[in-house]
């Protein structure tokens, strides 16, 4: 009897021991424009397991960018399974799932069957510039019929994934995703009746808007074998802002991924702008509403990937050394495969190299590409300073391109500010996981999250911005010559 008591006591001690496996884990998943990635996090915000797959974009016509929903769904399920397996844990140890998604990419589907009417139309898609019809007449008729029968759902990637994960039982989005659709009023905090009326979009198509950190239901057991709680939906840039712990008014985040996104925390108030920065809801948690102002530049990582495909280098890590091997490129690259955004706002601009000579090498081309990223950062920063009169408290960078110290240092020099780069640059994943963790009590509060964030390197200005005046001036001239290139009139 005493032996049995000893065994029972030993089992009780083992069960109460601080075992990380028993303590639980959260999943942070980011569906980006180029990669879908999942990380498993423990309580110390350490990555215990990961998985990633490339998102394949479709280009059915010039300027059109689409994603196959069925392929994306299979990838979504696969990266979750693979990351949990890589962590060496079981699905029932996941206490919460947070999902970060690319923004503005939308889909319509049949409410009853869940079957989509078309592919995802990507946020990178330019067909609206020419006011081209999104679908052919037969498909458009199907959508119109479904709308008339109130059997059509409209949603961004987060809404559709939630619908799929819950086998159609949940239809919702969060405030951060809603605010990026162009159909949401950030001042009234609801879908805009005026805009939806002007665009002839019935409000019945649009999902209810919930808090960013919220109980969205559970994943249907058939998918992963257990009902994992879905406790955060968030747009990717807002998620990165949260992951960077940019919680104070005046905190700035610079994300350099497929594109560049510069965000500033504007507190409780949406920001009005005419120069290219737009108001967004960062997140809503209970009574707390945090607003952001954002400017963006396209074709950042896209330009680097293009150069790699062209054979200018094998690994993106090589580009930093290649750029530093030259004093000055004297070649200028305009990164506008998808037009130019703030402050130029020209969808007809073309990508181009200028200043090419017989002596130009691939080293000059690579340096020109990296310099163009820093120059665009400088432009966005100047617009932000001009339009948003909020003192900057700190600047933090993330995204794959921020691993390039040449770009980081040049940006720090140009804007004359200190920039902090984190250890883990996949901030959208940690942001989604953080929001999920707060929702289920995995982490206590934001103060705990601040302590968990790890800085890799802090870049301080090494050169005066005046030293770049000539090269940036020449680059601006190159940009102007690339503008309006595709204008047919």
Residue 6 tokens, joined:
């000893």
Range of the domain at 96: 21-235
Residue 239: which H helix or E strand, with range? helix 236-243
Residues 6+ apart with CB under 8 A from 214: 174, 231, 232, 233, 439
In whole angstroms, what is the distance from residue 205 CA to residue 346 CA?
31
pLDDT at 180 over 70: yes
DSSP code per residue over 242-311 = HHTT--STTEEEEEESSSEEEEEEEETSPPP-SSS-EEEEEEEETTEEEEEEEEEES-SHHHHHHHHHTT
Q: What is the mean pLDDT of residues 192-210?
A: 93
Q: Is residue 350 part of a domain?
A: no
Condensed to tens digits (0 to 9), the pLDDT of residues 287-313 reads: 999 999 999 998 999 999 999 999 999
Comparing C-alpha atoms, which of 453, 457, 468 is closest to residue 377? 468
Rounded CA-CA distance 343/324 in Å is 29
343 cis-preceded (ω within 30 degrees of 0): yes
Q: Of the candidates 310, 285, 295, 306, which has an alpha carbon nearest to the alpha carbon of residue 261?
A: 295
Query: Has residue 382 been placed in a domain?
Result: no
Domain count, the chain: 1
Q: What whole-number percentage of the chain has pLDDT above 70?
A: 92
HSE (side-chain half, CA atoms, 13 Å) at 32: 27
Residue 73 lies inside a defined structural domain of this protein: yes
Beta strands in 335-380 (DSSP E): 352-354
Select from 431, 442, 446, 428 the least CA-distant residue to 95. Answer: 442
> 70-74, 271-275, 443-447: which range is least confident on average?
271-275
Identify whether 337 is part of a domain: no
Q: pTM for the full model?
A: 0.90
Mean local confidence (pLDDT), 174-179: 98
| Residue 110, CA distances (Å) to 66, 75, 341, 400 in order | 19, 22, 34, 36
pLDDT, tens digit (0-9, with 9 covering 90-100), for 382-408: 999 999 989 999 999 999 999 999 999
Q: What is the DSSP string of 456-488?
A: EEEE---S-GGGGHHHHHHHHHHHHHHTTTT--
* CA distance linking residue 211 with residue 201, whole number of Å: 23
Residue 371: inside a domain, yes or no?
no
CATH number, domain containing residue 222: 3.30.420.40
**Tokens (6 digits) for 389:** 């009169």
Q: Note whether 270 and 291 are within 8 A (CB).
A: yes
Q: Please indicate, yes or no, if residue 83 is contained in any of the structural domains.
A: yes
- Alpha carbon distance, N-terminus to C-terminus of the chain: 94
The answer to whether residue 20 scores a pLDDT higher than 50 is no
* Distance from C-alpha of 394 to C-alpha of 126, rounded to nearest angstrom: 34
In the three-class reduction of DSSP (H, G, I as helix; E, B as strand; rest coil), residue 327 is classed as: coil
What tens digit of pLDDT does each residue of 128-161 get? 655 444 444 455 667 778 877 778 899 999 999 9
How far is the C-alpha of 377 from the C-alpha of 398, rounded, in Å?
13
- Inform me whether the pLDDT recorded for 7 exceeds 60: no
Instruction: Say if 147 falls within a structural domain.
Output: yes
Q: Which helix (H) or strand (E) holds 445?
A: none
In a domain, 385, yes or no: no
């Amino acid at each position: 009897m005493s032996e049995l008591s000893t065994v029972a006591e030993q089992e009780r001690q083992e069960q109460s021991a601080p075992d990380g496996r028993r303590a639980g884990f959260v999943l942070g998943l980011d569906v980006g424009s180029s990669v879908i990635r999942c990380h498993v996090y423990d309580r110390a915000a350490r990555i215990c397991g990961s998985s990633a797959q490339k998102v394949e974009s479709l280009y059915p016509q010039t300027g059109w960018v689409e994603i196959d929903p069925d392929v994306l769904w299979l990838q979504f399920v696969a990266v979750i399974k693979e990351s949990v397996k890589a962590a060496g844990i079981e699905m029932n140890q996941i206490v919460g799932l947070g999902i970060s998604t690319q923004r503005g990419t939308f889909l319509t589907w049949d409410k009853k069957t869940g079957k989509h009417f078309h592919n995802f139309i990507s946020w990178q898609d330019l067909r609206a510039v020419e006011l081209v019809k999104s679908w052919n007449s037969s498909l458009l008729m199907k959508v119109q019929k479904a709308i008339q029968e109130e059997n059509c759902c409209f949603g961004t990637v987060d809404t559709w994934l939630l619908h799929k994960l819950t086998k159609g039982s949940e239809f919702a989005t969060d405030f951060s995703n809603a605010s990026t659709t162009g159909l949401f009023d950030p001042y009234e905090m609801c879908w805009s009746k005026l805009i939806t009326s002007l665009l002839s979009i019935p409000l019945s198509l649009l999902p209810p808007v919930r808090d960013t950190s919220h109980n969205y239901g559970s994943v249907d057991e058939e998918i992963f074998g257990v009902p994992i709680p879905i406790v955060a939906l968030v747009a990717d840039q807002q998620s990165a802002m949260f992951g960077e712990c940019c919680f104070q008014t005046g905190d700035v985040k610079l994300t350099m991924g497929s594109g560049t996104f510069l965000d500033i925390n504007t507190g409780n108030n949406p920001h009005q702008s005419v120069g290219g920065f737009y108001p967004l809801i960062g997140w809503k948690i209970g009574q707390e509403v945090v607003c952001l102002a954002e400017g963006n530049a396209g074709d950042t990582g896209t330009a680097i990937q293009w150069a790699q495909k062209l054979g200018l280098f094998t690994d993106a890590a090589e580009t930093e050394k290649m750029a530093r091997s030259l004093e000055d490129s004297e070649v200028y690259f305009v990164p506008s495969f998808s037009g130019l955004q703030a402050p130029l706002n020209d969808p007809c601009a073309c990508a181009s190299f200028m200043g090419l000579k017989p002596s130009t090498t691939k080293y000059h081309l690579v340096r020109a590409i990296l310099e163009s990223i820093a120059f665009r950062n400088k432009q966005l920063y100047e617009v932000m300073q001009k339009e948003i009169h909020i003192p900057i408290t700190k600047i933090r960078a993330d995204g794959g391109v921020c691993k390039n110290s040449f770009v980081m240092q040049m940006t720090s020099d140009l804007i004359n500010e200190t920039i902090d780069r984190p250890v883990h640059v996949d901030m959208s994943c940690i942001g989604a996981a953080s929001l999920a963790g707060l929702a289920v009590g995995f982490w206590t509060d934001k103060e705990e999250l601040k302590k968990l964030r790890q800085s890799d390197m802090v870049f301080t200005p090494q050169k005066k911005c005046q030293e770049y005046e000539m090269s940036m001036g020449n680059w601006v001239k190159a940009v102007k010559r690339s503008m309006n290139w595709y204008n047919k009139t």
